A and B are shown apart, each in its own frame.
Chain A
Amino acid sequence: MAARGCGRVWCWARQLCAGRPGPGSRSRPFPRRQRTVACNARGGAVSAGKSGLAPWIPVVGLEIHAQISSNSKLFSGSQVQFAAPPNSLVSFFDASLPGTLPVLNRRCVEAAVMTGLALNCHINKKSLFDRKHYFYADLPAGYQITQQRVPIAVNGSLSYSLCIDNKMSQMVTKTVRIKQIQLEQDSGKSLHDDTRSQTLVDLNRAGVGLMELVMEPDMCCGEEAAAAVRELQLILQTLGSSQAVMAEGQLRVDANVSVHRPGEPYGVRTEVKNINSIRFLAKAVDYEIQRQIEELGNGGTILNETRAFDSKLGCTVPMRDKEGKQDYRFMPEPNLPPLILYDAKSLPANMNHQQVINIDWIHERLPDLPSVKREKLVEQYGILPEHSFTLLNEDGLAEFFESVVKQTQMKPKKVIGWILNDLLSYLKQHSLTVKESPVSSFLLADLLNLLEKKEISSTAAKQVFAELWKGEGKTPLETVKEQKLELLQDQKELEQICQAVIDGQENE
Chain B
Amino acid sequence: QVSAALKEGRVTPTELCQRCLALIKSTKFLNAYITVTEEAALKQAEESEERYKKGQPLGILDGIPIAVKDNFNTAGIETTCASKMLKGYISPYNATVVQKLLDRGAVLLGKTNLDEFAMGSGSTDGIFGPVRNPWSYSKQYKEKSVPKSHSEDKESDWVITGGSSGGSAAAVSSFTCFAALGSDTGGSTRNPAAHCGVVGLKPTYGLISRHGLIPLVNSMDVPGILTRCVDDAAVLLGSLAGHDPKDSTTIQDDFKPFELPDLTDVSKLSIGIPKEYNAPGLSSEILALWSKAADLFKNAGAKVVEVSLPHTRYSIVCYHVLCTAEVASNMARFDGLEYGHRSDVKDSTESMYAATRREGFNDVVRGRILSGNYFLLKQNYEKYFVKAQKVRRLIANDFVKVFRSGVDILLTPTTLSDAAPYTEFIQEDNRTRSAQDDILTQAANMAGLPAINVPTALSERGLPVGLQFIGRSFQEKQLLTVAKWFEKQVQFPVIQLEEVKRHDNGVCQHQKSASFS
Residues of A in contact with B (beta carbons under 8 Å apart)? 1-3, 5-6, 9, 92, 95-104, 131, 133, 135, 137, 140-143, 199, 201, 323, 327, 329-331, 334-337, 355
Contacts and interface: CB of A to CB of B under 8 A. Distances in A.
B231 to A, nearest CB: 29
Most chain B CB atoms below 10 A, which of A5, A103, A334, A337: A334
Contact of A100 (B81, B211, B340, B377): B211
A5 B329 contact: no
Nearest to B373: A329
B467 interface: no
Given A97-B338, A102-B248, A330 B91 contact: no
A268 to B, nearest CB: 21
B212 interface: yes
B52 to A, nearest CB: 32
A167 B103 CA distance: 72
Interface in B227-248: 245-248
A198 B339 CA distance: 17
Contacts of B86: 98
Given A98-B86, A140-B333, A336-B249, 18 more contacts: A1-B339, A6-B339, A96-B333, A97-B92, A97-B339, A99-B212, A100-B212, A103-B245, A103-B248, A133-B329, A137-B337, A141-B333, A142-B335, A329-B378, A330-B376, A330-B378, A331-B381, A334-B219
Given A2-B91, A142-B333, A329-B377, A199 B349 contact: yes
Most chain A CB atoms below 10 A, which of B92, B95, B214: B92
B10 to A, nearest CB: 38
Given A3-B92, A103-B245, A329 B211 contact: no
B93 A335 contact: no
Contact of A5 (B218, B246, B342): B342
8 contacts: A9-B338, A98-B86, A101-B249, A103-B246, A133-B328, A137-B349, A335-B247, A337-B249
Contact of B332 (A142, A201, A323, A335): A142
Nearest to A98: B214
A327 B378 CA distance: 7
Contacts of B215: 98-99
A135 B249 contact: no
Contacts of A104: 248
B90 interface: yes
Most chain B CB atoms below 10 A, which of A1, A327, A329, A337: A329
B72 to A, nearest CB: 8
B350 interface: yes
A419 B248 CA distance: 53
B339 A101 contact: no
B406 to A, nearest CB: 29
B210 A101 contact: yes
B88 interface: yes
A119 B426 CA distance: 62
A126 to B, nearest CB: 15
B248 A336 contact: yes
B247 A331 contact: no
A50 B213 CA distance: 69
B376 A331 contact: yes
B14 interface: no
Nearest to A323: B350
A1 B88 contact: yes
Among all A-B residue pairs, the 6 with the closest Cβ atoms: A142-B332, A329-B376, A2-B339, A334-B218, A334-B219, A5-B339
Given A97-B91, A102-B248, A143-B329, A335 B337 contact: no
B89 interface: yes
B212 A334 contact: no
B73 interface: yes
B299 to A, nearest CB: 44
A5 B349 contact: no
A3 B217 CA distance: 26
A109 to B, nearest CB: 13
Most chain A CB atoms below 10 A, which of B72, B217, B337, B376: B337
A5 B353 contact: no
Contacts of A327: 377-378
A140 B73 CA distance: 18
B385 interface: yes
B326 interface: yes
A335 B90 CA distance: 24
A350 B469 CA distance: 35
B309 interface: no
B240 to A, nearest CB: 16
A103 B333 CA distance: 18
A231 B333 CA distance: 39
A131 B332 CA distance: 11
A141 B332 contact: yes
A143 B332 contact: yes
A496 B298 CA distance: 128
A205 to B, nearest CB: 15
A99 B340 CA distance: 14
Interface string B311-351: 00000000000000110110111110111101000000110
Given A142-B335, A337-B248, A99 B218 contact: no
Contacts of B218: 334-335
Most chain B CB atoms below 10 A, which of A3, A6, A98: A98
A9 to B, nearest CB: 7
Given A1-B89, A9-B338, A143-B329, A335 B249 contact: yes
B217 to A, nearest CB: 8
A331 B329 contact: yes
A2 B338 contact: yes
Contacts of B89: 1-2
B332 A5 contact: no
A355 B248 CA distance: 12
Given A2-B339, A137-B337, A141-B333, A101 B247 contact: yes
B333 to A, nearest CB: 4
Contacts of B325: 331
B385 A3 contact: no
Contacts of A3: 90, 92
A135 B332 contact: yes
A89 B247 CA distance: 21
A9 B337 contact: yes
Nearest to A190: B349
B246 A101 contact: yes
A386 B398 CA distance: 66
Nearest to B357: A135
Interface string B33-75: 0000000000000000000000000000000000000001100
A327 B95 CA distance: 33
Interface string B488-512: 0000000000000000000000000
Given A2-B90, A102-B248, A96 B338 contact: yes
Contacts of B349: 137, 199
Interface string B215-226: 101110000000
Nearest to B328: A329
Nearest to B378: A327
B445 to A, nearest CB: 13
B95 A99 contact: yes
A133 B333 CA distance: 10
A202 to B, nearest CB: 13
Contacts of B73: 97-99
B329 A2 contact: no
